[in-house]
Amino acid sequence: MGLLSTNIFLPSLPAIATDLGVSSAAVTSSITVFLVVFAAGQLVVGPLSDRFGRKVPIVTGLCIFVLGTAWCALAADFLNLLVGRSVQAAGVCAVAVLSRAIARDLFDGQELTRAMASITIATAAAPGFSPLLGGAIDLLLGWRFEFVFVAAVAAGAGAIYVISVGETLKTVGGPRPLREVIRCYLGLIRDARFGAPARTAGLLMAGLYAVLSSAPRVLLEGFGLSPIALGWLFAGVVFIVFGAGVLAPRLAARFGRQGATLAGLTLAATAAIALLGMTLIGEIALGAFLMITPVFLFGVGIASPLSSAAALSPFGDRAGQAAALFGCAQMAGAACGASLAAILSSEPVRGLTLVLAATSFVAMMLQAFSSTSRR
């Protein structure tokens, strides 16, 4: 839901900027605002879900999200759009963090790995198909109706959750003082079983959101593609991540979770470094960019669900807080990646490839070190 609300209006950035009287860069900054609130909100939702269960925070979060989405649809100026995006993020963060907590409530071991892969595939469908859908809605009805559509989807998702899933936490905890919550978070950060995969996930999201935030400018302005063509390219991402999500549990079963994660990171880093090398040598061709970037995304699609499963598996007794801190690490990385891409936007293609190469290479080296230290 969070990625849907972020990516559906990517093709409409120029139209939103024109209507609200600001630059495209200013509208793009709303993505960073969304991610920062999204990351911080998860740290609050996690402990609440361990205290009150999963159902109440999810339903409450969806209601807040619908309110924020309506605010965005009615925004008369850029400031109100930012407020609406912040309210959206404060609500939808509950859905993101608790989807992983629910998976940990219900599954363990290889079943948890498969569940995380399914979540990754479902998550990829939002940034994959939503720009194409958003472009069509913008063309037919205008960009404000994109937010109307998102609100309707959120209401439907909430109804399906209440009817089909419901509460999954078997034992609801008692009241927990703030000091204990903070102590739990610090314990997770110091625990290498959690910290290593969380760092990997944060770096992966930095690279992924650098792509998502920069792709419209790189492909529309740098390579001259149309908004519809951009939408179709984003739709292709779904099939890439679907293939990676299907392969990830099989690789984990064959080579172990650590080895499979390292393989995915190595693939992503190799592709990113190849892209950077091409941009440093000279102008990169559109064909080369479109051939190599999917390889990077495929590697991310393998490593991401395995990192999630590795981080949450040992902490079933505090799955809500573990999922919250993991999600916060992901969104903090995403905000950094989007911000770095914006800072380097004077040369958007080179800036994007530099962020991809740096984040994926560091993630690969950290994973290699972690794998070696555990032997």
For residue range 61-87, list pLDDT tens digits in order: 999 999 999 999 999 999 999 999 999
288 backbone dihedrals φ, ψ, rounded to 5°: -65, -40
103-150 tens-digit pLDDT: 877 777 777 777 777 776 666 666 667 777 888 888 889 889 999 999
Q: Are 136 and 13 in contact (CB under 8 A)?
A: no
For residue 370, is pLDDT > 90?
no
Q: Are 324 and 47 in contact (CB under 8 A)?
A: yes
User: What is the C-alpha to C-alpha distance for residues 345 and 339, in angstroms, rounded to an integer?
Assistant: 10
What is the average pLDDT value for the chain, to the nearest integer? 84
* Cβ neighbours around 286 below 10 Å, total: 13
Find the radius of gyration of the CA atoms of the chain: 20
User: What is the C-alpha to C-alpha distance for residues 53 and 173, in angstroms, rounded to an integer?
Assistant: 8
- The per-residue pLDDT for 77 is 92
150-203 tens-digit pLDDT: 999 999 988 888 888 777 777 665 556 778 888 888 998 889 889 889 999 999
* Cβ neighbours around 109 below 10 Å, total: 9
Mean pLDDT of the 239-245 span: 82
For residue 17, is pLDDT > 70?
yes
User: Would you say the pTM of this structure is higher than 0.85?
Assistant: no
* Degrees to nearest 5, angle at CA 278 with 277 and 283: 140
Rounded to a whole number of angstroms, the distance between the first and last alpha carbons of the chain is 39
For residue 317, is pLDDT > 90?
no
Mean pLDDT of the 305-310 span: 88
For residue 273, is pLDDT > 80?
yes
User: What is the C-alpha to C-alpha distance for residues 219 and 216, in angstroms, rounded to an integer?
Assistant: 5
Token pair, residue 126, equals 């939002």
33-42 tens-digit pLDDT: 888 888 888 8
Q: pLDDT-based confidence at 358, cuts 50/70/90?
A: very high
Residue 366 class from Cβ within 10 Å (0-12 exposed, 13-18 middle, 19+ buried)?
middle
CATH topology of domain 2-373: Growth Hormone; Chain: A; (1.20.1250)
Q: Which residue stretches of the chain are H helix?
A: 2-7, 13-20, 24-52, 55-73, 78-106, 109-140, 144-164, 178-190, 192-215, 227-281, 286-312, 319-343, 348-373
- The per-residue pLDDT for 275 is 92
Q: Are 355 and 185 in contact (CB under 8 A)?
A: no
